[in-house]
Structure 1
């Protein structure tokens, strides 16, 4: 039986989960429990329904996967994709501050202000769907609220389970802890501060800074590991996992307990890596990354994935809100960035399979900035491509992947003097993705050259998988130019009349891009309107 999220009885079990008509609830931690949680079937559906917490009715936009909007924010701030449209505040999130042409001419974005000024101007309930700060915050706290309710249900003495009840409880517990740890990981990696809440249906005003949120994420993920160590494999495990992983997320490829644990280690490695800038990383930090990734995802592992149902309706993508559907030319809401395509080597099979030229390049779309332009159209997966779909194919990892784990270890090795070992992992990832590229290990590259090979590969291999902004931030790319930020030799499609001397047509031109983005976002005003902070001395706003 397929496990759908919209058209089965789960709606009755999590009543109200899809009726957040304003995204202005003062308590996104309350998932409205039901008596069905005293039955095994009820627990299964409630566990499956954690994904439905990613969906909400957004003012003026209708039912939307708000989690996917958050993923899109990461892609466009990491400049692997762009969105020229104002829906959900996306084009303002994508507001590159200045672009300097080879002549020295500086082009400031049409709004004339930096990203922080623009986004803070929309940080209110009155701004409705334009408040970009809201999406990741709301979806993650909805998930945390549902996870808290699931954990509480496991302690209910009225709960009845068949077979090995203790083992099944531990499976459900691990699932709740995984999603809770994942959600805290995202909150702490994106916002200045957050709230730690373990009580069902309750929040609090005890805001803590993002480092404390990350510590909580690590604690919850460690609890997940401990719980998984108590789970026994077998028919009960397989049956339960098939029930709580959605069919469109590939529930036939069971994530075993060992595979699951390796995902936890990889996520813990990511959490450490992406929340420190390179100058802040110590040798001990890099060694910790190596230790965690040594226990992380392997090339043969199954991982938890975000997919789509062929119907386009019985899933959380709604046939649209998925990285590969959003960028495909059927919807074409997002577009691949020229700055991503320039990372591919010319003979990379992924470039040849993944993209074809548009008949007419897109240039300064809607007059909203030179960053909104590209020559490249992703090829549908169903037509032999890699990064787009017109009929709901393809999956992306919910959290980490083998490639991300290997590349985290590669970076740690290169930065601690083991250049050749790091390059061997870069080669391994390229081979895993059938790039066809010649190996770079054994070619006498120095550490600087090795890091450039790694950097380009990380951008290419993890395209649309949720790491692009984290990397741009920690590498210092998103800092103001005056602080050493920005990107030189970034390819931009420039109208020829802006060049010196003027040229006809639109020309791919190496420019200097100053992004000037916030490192961590404000706590949304929608939260603070209903959750008054207590006696705290940490910043909630930039």
Structure 2
């Protein structure tokens, strides 16, 4: 029978909140079960509902997928996509600081200030849905809270399970630990600080810095590995996994315990790699990445997927809030960046079938910045494309993919002197995605040339899969230009009257883009207003 995520509990408002209830997200620490957690059916429904926590009432916007908002922030800061609209603060998240034209003319963004200044100006409950800081924070702590409730329920003596009760408990336990470790991984990879809480329905003011959050994330993921080592892949396992994974997230391709463990190793490799600048990575760090990736996702593995319900009803995407739907012609809310398209090599099949030119290029949309422009319209998956849908088609990985796992290994090999081995992996990933590109291994590329092949492939192969900002940050692209950041020869659609000499129309032009984005975001004021930081808390704001 087809399964849908259902509302199985109500959400309590933050205790002590003021009357501006329309300016608050619900309290992520208090998901209150309405169904009994002393039965297997109750556990299944509650486990299925973990991802429903991503559906939240955004101030002034109604019920919205707040996790999709977080994914969009990553894409636009990684400059694989852009969004010129102010909803959820996107246009300010996406506000490049300066663009320098070939003749040296500098175009500062229309607001004339950097991203930090703009986003901090909206970091209040009074800013409502414009406060970009709140979304990833809330969605992750919703998940952590529900995982804590599930873990508590599994220790309840009143719990009654038939058959191999121990195995069933371990399956549910692994599910809770996976999502909890995943959520902490995202908090620690995005915010200056966070909270560690293991008690259902409780929080605390003991903020710790993001490195401590990452330690907790990996500890929880290690606990999940231990639990999975005790799980038997019986008929009960298949039945439970089919029940707790929604049908539109592909519950037919069951993730086995071994596949699940490999996802954990891949996520741990990501956690290490994306939270250090490349310049700070040591040979030992790279060797650890290689070791984890060697145990990571394989090409034939099933992974946990974020999809869309064909009916668009009562699901975690609402049939719209998904990367592939937002960027399609139906919504046209996000758009493929020119900087992404220039990273496709000539004759790449993925570009040929994935994009078609707009009849009229988009240029400086709404006058909000030159980065808001593109010539390229993604083709619907249902029409043979790869990256967009008008009919709720396609899935993206919740965490890592096989391609990401392999490209982490490729980079680690290249940066430790094994250039050819790294290039062979780049070729293999291109073959896996049917790019049709000629192999580059064995062609005599220098180390810098090989790294450029890798950089392009990582951008292309993982498009819209949640890695773009992490990469731009760790590669130093998002740093101020004075610190070596920015991107040279970045293609921008420039109005001809800005060029010297002036030209008719709008011209794709290689420019220097200075992003000047924050590495880690401030803790949202929505949290601090109701959770006073302790005296030993680290800085919560940049």
Matched, 1:15 2:10: yes
Whether contact under 8 Å (2:494, 2:508) holds in the other structure is: yes
The aligned residue for residue 97 of structure 2 is: 97
Whether contact under 8 Å (2:23, 2:126) holds in the other structure is: no
1:143-542 correspondence runs (5 A): 143-542=143-542
Matched, 1:73 2:68: no
Deviation beyond 2 Å, 4+ runs, structure 1? 15-27
1:21 positional shift: 6.6
Instruction: Rate the CA distance shift 1:501–1:205 in 2: closer, same or farther, 3 A.
Output: same
Moved more, 292-301 or 30-39: 30-39
1:320 positional shift: 1.1
1:17 positional shift: 8.1
Counterpart secondary structure, 1:32: strand
Whether contact under 8 Å (1:233, 1:256) holds in the other structure is: yes
Moved more, 156-165 or 311-320: 311-320
1:25 positional shift: 5.5
Counterpart secondary structure, 1:37: coil
Whether contact under 8 Å (2:24, 2:59) holds in the other structure is: no
Work out the CA distance in 1 between the residues paired with 2:13 and 2:57: 7
Deviations 1:516-542 (A, max 9, x none): 000000000010000000112521000
1:325 positional shift: 0.1
Paired positions, count: 537
So what's the TM-score if we normalise by structure 2?
0.98
Work out the CA distance in 1 between the residues paired with 2:22 and 2:433: 42
1:28 positional shift: 1.6
Structure 2: gaps (5+ residues): 15-19
Give the CA RMSD over aligned residues. 1.3
Work out the CA distance in 2 between the residues paired with 1:5 and 1:33: 14
The aligned residue for residue 32 of structure 1 is: 32
Counterpart secondary structure, 1:375: strand
Deviations 1:334-376 (A, max 9, x none): 0000000000011000000000000000000000000000000
Work out the CA distance in 1 between the residues paired with 2:489 and 2:328: 27
Deviations 1:252-304 (A, max 9, x none): 00000000000000000000000000110000000000000000000000000
Whether contact under 8 Å (2:353, 2:386) holds in the other structure is: yes
1:59 positional shift: 1.3
1:469 positional shift: 0.1
Work out the CA distance in 1 between the residues paired with 2:88 and 2:27: 22
1:29 positional shift: 1.2
Work out the CA distance in 1 between the residues paired with 2:133 and 2:202: 22
1:36 positional shift: 1.1
Counterpart secondary structure, 2:33: coil
Moved more, 313-322 or 44-53: 313-322
